[in-house]
Copies of this chain bind each other. A is one copy, B any other.
């Protein structure tokens, strides 16, 4: 029974001993317990208990003074008891109801029993919060928050926390855990009781815990310790919200009272607390960088030197992933997504490991997972993974406001095959996981027109210091054709592309040649339509105006399957480190000693306070259908905004 009114049966001629839970009422039917023919009754009680008389059909109860008054005994007449402080000894308070022939019900010991949590979200557990049994979103919301224990406290033991996560993923359905789940409707929980650690020890770093509740242990009996004893329980989440787990977890404590030998105990009080498991949150490229990750390969020494310079300039740390970990896989962006999780008392980064399993699969567990660095992995059981499962195909926008609806943590962008019939799509397990976090409502875009099929091939976001705070950059064949026509008109039609380019397309390509290539023109008209389709969705779903969008010149060509690949290094697939941009060097037509693409891009971005640095990535990345961004990854500072203040 939730805190509230509890029914107590008085017994004709008997003394009843009863426990009264502080904060609750006990209601006793006097009429029902009185002998036939009784017409009136009186009540006496000790000081620690307050007593009201309730009459059927009357809304207001009547308070009972210490002694003296008599009341008529009608059908429905009842007594209501409550106690304002816990008893110092058993049966220290008594109520005596004098009815003809009826003995005194008495011996009421009050008991404070309460599960306490941080329901007001200030990082401190409060006593018996009135809001602890429910969860509400928003700045005026309430409810306790549970972190997923997805980090690894001790570097020398295997990552057992994560093992659990994987076990849950593999088991999947809810059937097994529902069979014997009396009080704990949700499974992904491990409830720890501290034993023997000194008070004040951070429970997450202490060692001597005994598991009292969990997936296969759904209840735990504790003898009532008496007096004002407190028991400390520690709770950890074992799984982020996903398609089959809403994120809400209830824990109950029930007080059972013995009646007599050979008769089961009966329940007299239940207290409930509700936790929401904190979501996994993505960080947009507009947030400040903390660590920049890149792989050291045999062929990218110069590139990593340039990246090092860029990181130093942007004031973030460079973390190099060496060959024994990357095992020949250079696509740092695609293997992991660096996000974080957050509760009022703590926040830490969490890496989402892609279902894509190539050379670098050991990186997140071996190099990232550690104390206060969490790990989560989503791997489908049956489906093969494909290019759209790479995390270059998951981005997140900066905070946006869309027709009055706020997305203070931005919206996740996922590349998909929609609206084309059939095609490739990100695995449902990861998509469902992203949707289930709820605080960055995903938008699905159309990326399957690209050979690699990742959203970061046509869209990115850069920070600005103006009112809008950011611009969305889109790859734009139209902008490139416009630029090239301008240059042609200025008499630079013979300006040559790909100067010093180390890739395979080493023929002399001029502006005139590009503009007169009808096949290329048509292919780029098609690409522009595909990008415009996404542009229109992005404008609508992120609430953007034309002024919020910058079109970066880009050209694509179609491969034999009719999928688009960049014609020259795709500048939109840049790294964004605050104001410092590491942009794939486009090797555009050089006129007057300067690449007109670089010049145009500077002209578009530098007035916004951004600093463009063009990085040569042809041999090491672009030649294998990736760019600067695909070979790097950035751990960013978390949002200052608290996700529980969202209203999803």
Cβ of A4 and Cβ of B540 under 8 Å apart? Answer: yes
C-alpha gap A198/B173 in the complex (Å):
45
In the complex, residue of chain B having the shortest beta-carbon distance to the beta carbon of A36: B486
- Decide if A612 is an interface residue (CB 8 Å cutoff): no
A522 cross-chain contacts in B, Cβ below 8 A: 259-260, 263
Q: Would you call A138 an interface residue if the criterion is a C-beta within 8 Å of the partner chain's C-beta atoms?
A: no
**Are A176 and B382 in contact, CB atoms less than 8 angstroms apart?**
yes
In contact, A264 and B526 (Cβ under 8 angstroms): yes
Q: Which of A66-74, A146-154, A422-430, A621-629 contacts B (4 or more CB under 8 A)?
A: A422-430
Across-interface contacts of A1 in B (CB, < 8 A): 419, 533, 536-537, 540
* Stretch of A43-51, A178-186, A392-400, A633-641 that contacts chain B: A178-186
Encode contact with B along A16-38: 1 for CB under 8 Å, 0 otherwise.
Answer: 00000000000001001101110
What is the CB-to-nearest-CB distance from A224 to chain B, in angstroms, rounded to a whole number?
14
Judge if A254 is at the interface, Cβ distance under 8 Å: yes
Q: Which residue from B9, B35, B257 sits with its C-beta under 8 Å from A528?
A: B9
A546 at interface, CB cutoff 8 A: yes
| CB contact under 8 A between A179 and B489, given known A244-B244, A528-B9, A530-B266 | no
Interface: A645 (CB within 8 A): no
A478 at the interface (CB under 8 A from B): yes
Given known pairs A256-B420, A422-B180, A422-B182, the reply for A428 and B174 (CB within 8 Å) is yes
Q: For A421, give its contact among B2, B182, B383 (CB under 8 Å).
A: B182
List residues of A (148-178) whose CB comes within 8 Å of B's CBs.
172-178
Asked whether, in the complex, the Cβ of B178 is within 8 Å of the Cβ of A431, the reply is yes
Chain B neighbourhood of A562, CB < 8 A: 262-264
Who on chain B is nearest to A269 by CB?
Answer: B419
* A523 lies within 8 A of chain B by Cβ: yes
Given contacts A259-B526, A540-B4, contact A419 B173 (CB under 8 A): no
For chain A, the bracket of interface size reads 35 or more
The answer on a CB contact under 8 Å between B32 and A479 is: yes
Does the CB pair B432–A174 fall under 8 Å? yes
Closest partner residue, chain B, to A259 (CB atom): B526
- Interface membership of A308, Cβ < 8 A: no
Which residue of chain B has its CB nearest to the CB of A482? B32
Contact (A259, B525) CB under 8 Å given A32-B478, A254-B419, A537-B1? yes
B175 to A381, Cβ gap below 8 A? yes
> Taking A428-B174, A478-B32, A526-B259 as contacts, is the C-beta distance between A419 and B252 under 8 angstroms?
yes
Q: Which of B183, B252, B526 is A266 in contact with, Cβ under 8 Å? A: B526
Inter-chain contact B9/A525, CB cutoff 8 Å: yes
The CA-CA distance from A9 to B480 in the complex, in Å, is 13
Residues facing B in A224-281 (CB within 8 A) are 243-244, 252, 254, 256-257, 259-260, 262-268, 270
- Residue with the highest number of chain B CB atoms closer than 10 Å, among A37, A181, A381, A427: A181
> Do the beta carbons of B266 and A533 come within 8 Å of each other?
yes
Best-surrounded residue of A173, A218, A489 (most CB of chain B within 10 A): A173
Residue A529 interfacial (CB < 8 Å): yes
User: Which chain B residue lies CB-closest to A184?
Assistant: B418
Contact B221 A421 (CB under 8 A): yes
Protomer copies: 2
**Residue in B7, B219, B380, B539 whose beta carbon sits within 8 Å of that of A5 in the complex:** B539
CA A380 to CA B180, docked complex, whole Å: 14
Cβ-based interface call for A416 (8 A): yes
Interface residue? A485 (CB, 8 A) = yes
Contact pick for A218, options B181, B259, B382, B422, CB 8 Å? B422
Most buried by B among A5, A7, A260, A425: A7
- Chain B hits for A218, CB < 8 A: 422
Residue A363 CB within 8 A of the other chain: no
| With known contacts A9-B528, A179-B383, A266-B530, A547–B422 Cβ distance under 8 A | no
Complex Cα distance A584/B266, Å? 28
Give the complex CA separation of A368 and B551 in angstroms: 64
Residue in B7, B431, B537 whose beta carbon sits within 8 Å of that of A536 in the complex: B7
A85 touches B (CB below 8 Å):
no
Residues of B within 8 A of A183 (CB): 418-419, 421
Residues of B within 8 A of A252 (CB): 418-419
Bound Cα distance from A35 to B244, whole angstroms: 56
Quick check: is A62 within 8 A (CB to CB) of the other chain? no
Residues of B with C-beta under 8 A to A259:
522, 525-526, 529
CB distance from A37 to the nearest CB of B (A): 8
10 new A-B contacts at CB < 8 Å, known A32-B478, A175-B382 = A1-B537, A2-B540, A36-B489, A183-B419, A219-B422, A254-B419, A256-B421, A263-B522, A267-B446, A268-B529
> Can you give 30 A-B contacts (C-beta < 8 A)?
A2-B537, A4-B540, A5-B540, A7-B536, A9-B529, A56-B546, A172-B173, A175-B380, A175-B381, A175-B383, A175-B428, A176-B382, A178-B425, A178-B432, A179-B427, A182-B417, A182-B423, A182-B425, A218-B422, A220-B421, A254-B421, A262-B562, A263-B526, A264-B420, A264-B562, A266-B530, A267-B533, A268-B529, A268-B533, A270-B418
Q: Which 3 A-B pairs give the minimum distances between C-beta atoms? A: A178-B428, A254-B419, A266-B529
